[in-house]
Chains A and B, each alone.
Chain A
Amino acid sequence: MLGYTITQWLFGILAFMAIMFGLMVVFSRNPVNSVLYLVLTFFCIAGHYLLLNAQFLAVVHIAVYAGAIMVLFLFVIMLMNLNQDSEPQRTMISKVIAGVIGGLLLLVVVGALRGSEQLAITRYGHSEIGLVRNLGRVLFDEYLFPFEIVSVLLLAALVGAIMIGKKEDRPLAESNQE
């Protein structure tokens, strides 16, 4: 097929879909649509992980991002009743400025990366670094201390989210009503 292998076709299709859905996240007016497009982007990125032989990471990515984080986003949007086009738009000039800044950033980074070490997508093959056995060995040998720190971080985030999210005490509420 035009001299491309099936891996290259898959990469091209997945990359195109990821970029398109990413653009739709930014450009769609309705926040709920944005969330759903972001979920599709995450699925495309999970496909890329599979292409890169990171099978376990792909599954974890779908479970954590599409399954947990995006549901949280959707829940908050529904809670705030934002599922309509209620967002006042920025002016055209600031959107144009944002686009120009993004284009310039792209130009700079692409220019800086040109000629650097590239991962040729034809060089796929068998690789076992993404399997649970090898990942677990690295995680619990070399990165045991950061792993424990992450557990503390998650606990702190849990407690913090509950503390912030619960109903505030009387004095603050009264001062808001004034």
Chain B
Amino acid sequence: MYMMLSVILFIIGAVGVMARRNTIILFMCIELMLNAVNLLLVAFSRLHEDSSGQVFVFFIMAVAAAEVAVGLAILSMIYRNVKNIDTDHLGNLKN
């Protein structure tokens, strides 16, 4: 059951990454995918009565926080220069 729920949440995130153009919403869909994986890790940690899965979830949370901080900083810098954060406008990194 939890496996199916995690897969469905992950695929919602993946479809969001493919279907949307706003970069912030892309970031949010990545968060959704990370959380689907977290849920699966916790479910397996419960299944095997092993705390290691929950420790991995801590690490994933830390990495996600770092990713969001750096990503949003990059995004706000891009917005300051280009005034636009649609993925179609960000094709060329060289200004």
Contact = CB atoms under 8 A, between A and B. Distances in A.
A154 interface: yes
Interface residues of A, number: 81
Contacts of B2: 48, 52, 119, 121
A72 B72 contact: yes
B28 A73 contact: yes
Interface of A: 11, 15, 18-19, 22-23, 25-26, 31, 34-35, 38, 41-42, 45, 48-49, 52-54, 57, 60-61, 64-65, 68-69, 72-73, 76-77, 79-80, 82, 87-90, 94-95, 97-99, 101-102, 105-106, 109-110, 113, 116-121, 127, 129-130, 134-135, 137-139, 142-143, 146, 150, 153-154, 156-158, 160-162, 164-165, 168, 175-176
Interface of B: 1-5, 7-9, 11-16, 18-22, 24-25, 27-29, 31-32, 35, 38-39, 42-47, 49-52, 54-55, 57-59, 61-70, 72-77, 79, 81, 85-86, 88, 95
